[in-house]
Structures are given as structure tokens and as C-alpha cells.
Amino acid sequence: MEQLFGVQCVDHPLVQHKLTLMRDIHCSTRSFRELMNEIGTLLCYEVTRDLPMELRAITTPLAEMRAPVIAGKKLVFAPILRAGVGFLDGMLRLVPSARVAHIGLYRDPVTLGAIEYYFKAPQDIADRLVIVMDPMLATGNSAVAAIDRLKEVGAKDIRFVSLLAAPEGIAHLQGQHPEVKIWTAAIEDRLNDHGYIVPGLGDAGDRMFGTK
Ligand code: URA
């Protein structure tokens, strides 16, 4: 894994290959959705790589031993609706007992500001590691608003996972929430005048759900 601008860039060949298939304008809705899920699983593997471990006494068929298990810390997956949902099943495949917080935000098409329309998070969020997910870190407005809101309800330990990240979004998120570490599959060139990531992959929600 590469570190660029303080961001964990997941350059694993499987991730990069699947991402290229998704970027292609000819990728079908079905394939796009499946690939998003698969990359969700692979990014989940990376974002949980340094979870604290402890030793547990167990008995194998041959001997007693102390073997490593993940220590105490429980997870919350927090997809930003709607595109963030694309990662969710893939991540739950690896951590099926994780709780889920839903954060409904849409982008005002003129100001590009994030407007909240739904928020529901587990009560014990303060005791959990929260992994916020949105495939596209573009302006960073949604990411910042989601994390502001999660902190308001007590979240303290937060990580952010995206598929693509624009330099503008990284700078905005790091400026507002410097302690939140970011994982992404690629850092892109720039945003266009409509706040879309270039070269990017278009509108992730529309491509995933076939709404355009
Ligand atoms: N959201 C998307 O779906 N695509 C972009 O390029 C930027 C934000």
C-alpha cells in the first residue's frame, strides 16, 4: 500500500483491475454494482489491517495454545447514502457483526453543499470504530458533514474509505478532521466545474443503480 498526501492508497492489483473495469463507460449497471461490492470487501481488508489483537486460550485437536483474535473494538459501518451503500454488503461479508449507521446526504446542485435528509446511528457509537464510506471523495463536503454529524452523536474513532479521491476533497477533509485517516483506491487529477472527479467514473450512484 502506498501513502500519498497522508492517504492510504490501495494499489493492490485486484483493486486496480476492478476499478479500471468500473471506469469504462461500457461497464453495465450489474457489473458496476458487483465490482463496487467486491472492491468494498478488498478495501475493508485494508482499513481493518491494524485492528488491535489479543491472545485467547484455545484447544486445537492436538494442543492447547494462545491464538490471536481481534480485541474488543466493535465496528460501525457508516455509508453515506446513496452511493456509499455500494460498499456495504462487501464490507459486511468480512465483518458480519458490524453495526450500520445510515447517513442520508445529497449535494445541492448549485452550491455543491451537503444537505442532510436522514441520519440513524447505533446508541453505543462512542465505544466503536466508525468506518465512513463514500465511493467518491469529491469536494469533501459530504464527508465533512457526515463526520461532523457522527461526532455530534459521540463518535470518536473514525476512518474514511473511498474508491476515488480528488485532491480538493482530501485537503478539505484533512483540514476539517485531521485525525480521520483516509483509504482510497486512487487519487485523481481534479474536479470539474460541476464538482465531478476527473478522470473519475461519472456519477457513482447513477451508474450503480441505473438511474440515468
Ligand atoms: N459524486 C459522483 O458520483 N461522482 C463524482 O465524480 C463526484 C461526486
To test ligand 1's pocket by mutation, which of 191, 201, 212 has the most ligand atoms within 8 angstroms of CB?
201
Model pLDDT for residues 134-174, shown as the tens digit of each residue: 999 999 999 999 999 999 999 999 999 999 999 999 999 99
Please state the domain extents for the chain: 2-209
Q: What letter represents residue 194's amino acid?
A: H
Q: Contact 116/92 with Cβ under 8 angstroms?
A: no
Model pLDDT for residues 84-110, shown as the tens digit of each residue: 999 999 999 999 999 999 999 987 888
Which residue's alpha carbon is at the smallest distance from atom 7 of ligand 1? 196
Please name which of 4, 1, 2 lies closest in space to residue 166, comparing C-alpha atoms: 4
Q: Contact 121/146 with Cβ under 8 angstroms?
A: no
Q: Which residues are catalytic?
A: 107, 111, 203, 206
To test ligand 1's pocket by mutation, which of 22, 36, 203 has the most ligand atoms within 8 angstroms of CB?
203
Pairing between β-strand 190-191 and β-strand 197-198 as defined by DSSP bridges: antiparallel
Q: How far apart are CA 202 and CA 110, in angstroms?
A: 18
Q: Read off the pTM.
A: 0.94
Which atom of ligand 1 is nearest to 195's Cα? 7
- CATH number of this structure's domain 2-209, picked from the four choices 3.40.47.10, 3.40.50.2020, 3.50.4.10, 2.60.40.420: 3.40.50.2020
**Directed axis angle between helix 13-23 and helix 29-47, to 10°?**
150
